Every structure is written in C-alpha cells, then in structure tokens.
Amino acid sequence: MTSLINISLITYFTLVSVIGTLGNGVILLAYGNRWNSSKSTSVIFILILACVDLWTCLIVVPAIAIMEYRDFDVPTAICRFYSFSKNLIIISSFIMSFIALDRFLNIAVPHYRLLNPRRVK
C-alpha cells in the first residue's frame, strides 16, 4: 500500500513541477522584456512572483518529492535546504498580497499612487 502511495505522490509532484515550470517559464518569456521599461507595478509584481514560483517548481517541489519518497530519511543538506526553501511559499503569499493591495489602491484611490514602479523595484 505504501508503494502505491509513494508512486501517486511522485506522480503528483512531477505533474506540479512540470506544469508549474512551463507556466512560469511562459510568463517570464512574455513579460521578461518589460522589466526595465515597465510603468506598471503589476508587471513588476508578476515577474517577481513568476521567478519565486519558478524556483519553487524547479527546486523545492522535486526536493519534497525526494524527501517523501525516502520517508524523510535524507542527508542533512537536503533537509536544511528544504527547511530554508519553505520560506519561498511565505514570500509568494506576500507578493500575492501586495498584488491585491496594488489592485485595491488603483481602484479605491486611482489618483494617489502609493505603490509606484520605483518603490516596488
């Protein structure tokens, strides 16, 4: 039974990693050339969020898959890296909160720019 659970977890983590990497890669290709000329805070936030999520999909999710597959019997370096990388999820949540705050401020007080591109960068 545990081998079936391990196979399903590895399949799930592989799908998340591949789909997330492709999606964030497309976003970085589409918005990447707008970083220096961006007059919009939304573009900056989207690019930063795509970078953080790309790192998560490329590195953190496979590390979690390895740890789950080996029942958390991994070398100390991988365990420490995993513990450090969990902070990326928190960072990603903060970025999404700032995107929501930026959208709210643009709707509620459109003439007062609290978050401008220079401050966001």
Identify the pLDDT of residue 17.
Answer: 93
Which residues does the chain have with pLDDT short of 50?
Answer: 1
Q: Quick check: is 101 in a domain?
A: yes
Q: Which two three-digit tokens encode residue 56?
A: 């998560």
CB 117 within 8 A of CB 92: no
Q: Quick check: is 114 in a domain?
A: no
Q: Quick check: is 94 in a domain?
A: yes
What's the full length of the chain, in residues?
Answer: 121
Q: Quick check: is 120 in a domain?
A: no
Q: Quick check: is 118 in a domain?
A: no
Identify the pLDDT of residue 38.
Answer: 64
Q: Quick check: is 115 in a domain?
A: no
Q: Quick check: is 60 in a domain?
A: yes
Q: Quick check: is 113 in a domain?
A: no
Identify the pLDDT of residue 121.
Answer: 65
CA-based nearest residue to 46, from 20, 27, 19, 21: 27
Q: Which two three-digit tokens encode residue 104?
A: 């709210």
Q: How many domains does the chain have?
A: 1
Identify the pLDDT of residue 19.
Answer: 96
Identify the pLDDT of residue 113.
Answer: 72
Range of the domain at 5: 1-108
**What's the predicted TM-score (pTM) here?**
0.79
Rounded Cα gap, residues 51 and 54, in angstroms: 5
Identify the pLDDT of residue 31.
Answer: 85
